[in-house]
Structure 1
Amino acid sequence: MSVLLLRLAGPLQAWGASARFTRRTTEAAPTKSGVIGMLASAAGIDRGDDAALAPLAALRFGVRIDQPGTRVRDFQTAHHTDTGKSMPLSERFYLADAVFVAALEGDPTLLGALHTALRTPAHPLFLGRRSCPPDLPPELGTRATGLQQSLEDEPWHAARWYQRLRRKEALIALPVLREPGPGDPPGNTLRDQPLSFAPAHRQHTLRFVISTSAEVTNPQAAPTPTRAVPRHEPFDAVGEETL
């Protein structure tokens, strides 16, 4: 097995596991369906090609929250392209200034091909929604270690200003949300396992998610101040005249 690591960061991100009517929410961390959709876009897989999507959806997924960001809300209006009629006002939520490290574990040949596709994507990449492009190419390379170990070994990718906010901590415990491996408890469920991205019949099913953590070094940690121990000799107060 091999692991492909991605850095997911940009001004805005939106990872919706569910959306009803005009209210479009976002999860606190990237969803598997959103990341798999980005990989499928990079590889040039057609939305209706469920057979080509299946190997990607079978990859084991995990994400580390390096910088949680801030949840923001926006209101959007639109007009029907044919009739020009105003559409209902929609309420949309985003994550601003967030940084995540996503990991996908599986067949090394498939992950190597996806790594190459991310360098020269067939279609534009976006972080959950088309209005959310990444700030840098997301690929961080492949690793030979397991999913959890890869997330523990990867350096902290939070912005410097955010790292300095926690400069008093030399080691930082970052939350990890991942699919369970052999011997792990099943955890919670999330309707986030993609079955089809076809516009006419998008389908998702449940997948299991467990919460762990990864301890990383803070490169902006302040050095521990050293204080000289003052010399204390009680007999110094006794003058020579008393001897």
Structure 2
Amino acid sequence: MTTLTLCFDAPMQSWGLRSRGVLRDTAMEPTKSGVVGLLAAAMGVERDDEAGIAELAALRLGIRVDREGLLERDYQTAQNVPTTLGTGHRTVVSERYYLADALFLVALEGPGALLGQLAGAVVAPRWPLCFGRRAFVPARPVLSGIHDGTLERTLREHPWLEHPGRAAPGNHQERLGLRTVIDCGVREAGAQPRHDVPLSFARTARRFATRAVRIGEVPLTEDMIITGEPSCS
């Protein structure tokens, strides 16, 4: 097995699951549609290229939460919005949620040739990369590396992505484990549904399917804490 690892680090990230109308929510970790959307931008896959999107969505996804984000909410106001009847205008207030100061190790398991192409693409993307919204751009390089081994092994052994100051041994005594969210079979014990597998990103015909995930954790060991610059710095 081959696994590609990415670093999702930014002051703000947003991973919508049920965003509709004036309420824009966020999951507490990257969604599959969000990860596939970022990879599609890197590769130059068009929004309506269903075959290209399906190839990326077929990769097995695992997320390790190296720093839980803080859930924040913004209010945005739009003026002179036409009414549904077209007889006038109104002011619309929308609530938009996002994660502040979150840090994720994103792991993708699949064919080595495709993962190699993706590694090159995120370094030199066709279109700009963002974490859920165009204004939410990466704070450091996205690529972490390509590894031999399974997704689970990579999530257990990959160095913690924290910066040197926060990664000092004395600062993590209460962090016994790092939360993980991993693609799994629908019949596995503890499987939970997530309706976030993209079929099409076409603006007027967005479609999604459901996958199963398993939520767990991996121990934060001394071997995972590095004193130099973390990977993807």
Which residue matches 2:202? Answer: 198
Structure 1 position 175 matched with structure 2 position 179? yes
What is the deviation of 1:94? Answer: 0.8
Structure 1 position 65 matched with structure 2 position 65? yes
Q: CA separation in 2, counterparts of 1:191 and 1:57? A: 13
What is the deviation of 1:76? Answer: 1.2
Q: How does 1:138-153 map to 2 (within 5 A)?
A: 138-153=142-157
Does structure 1 retain, via aligned residues, the 8 Å contact 2:14–2:131? yes
1:81/1:5 CA distance change after superposition, 3 Å: farther
Does structure 1 retain, via aligned residues, the 8 Å contact 2:81–2:91? no
What is the deviation of 1:220? Answer: 8.1
What is the deviation of 1:69? Answer: 1.8
Q: Which amino acid aligns with 2:196?
A: D
Q: Deviations over 1:56-102 (max 9, x none)?
A: 011111100000021111111235799xx666211101111110001
Does structure 1 retain, via aligned residues, the 8 Å contact 2:181–2:216? yes
1:131/1:81 CA distance change after superposition, 3 Å: farther
Q: TM-score, normalised by structure 1?
A: 0.82
SS at match of 2:100: strand
Structure 1 position 99 matched with structure 2 position 108? no
Q: Deviations over 1:16-62 (max 9, x none)?
A: 11112101011011111101100000000111111111110111111
Which residue matches 2:130? Answer: 126
SS at match of 1:36: helix
Give the alignment's Cα RMSD to 1 decimal.
Answer: 2.6
Percent of aligned pairs with the same amino acid: 37
SS at match of 1:131: coil
Q: CA separation in 2, counterparts of 1:46 and 1:80? A: 32
Structure 1 position 113 matched with structure 2 position 117? yes
Gaps of 5+ in 1: 222-243
What is the deviation of 1:111? Answer: 0.7
SS at match of 1:179: strand
Q: Which amino acid aligns with 2:26?
A: T
SS at match of 1:53: helix
Does structure 1 retain, via aligned residues, the 8 Å contact 2:186–2:211? no
1:181/1:147 CA distance change after superposition, 3 Å: farther
Which residue matches 2:85? Answer: none
SS at match of 1:99: strand
1:95/1:159 CA distance change after superposition, 3 Å: farther
What is the deviation of 1:217? Answer: 2.9
Does structure 2 retain, via aligned residues, the 8 Å contact 1:60–1:104? yes
1:182/1:209 CA distance change after superposition, 3 Å: closer
SS at match of 2:171: coil
How many residues were matched structurally? Answer: 220
Does structure 1 retain, via aligned residues, the 8 Å contact 2:45–2:52? yes
Gaps of 5+ in 2: 83-88, 228-233
Larger radius of gyration: 1
Does structure 2 retain, via aligned residues, the 8 Å contact 1:127–1:133? yes
Q: Deviations over 1:118-165 (max 9, x none)?
A: 110000000111110010121111111100100111111124454459
| Structure 1 segments (4+ residues) deviating >6 Å | none
Which residue matches 1:55? Answer: 55
Q: TM-score, normalised by structure 2?
A: 0.86
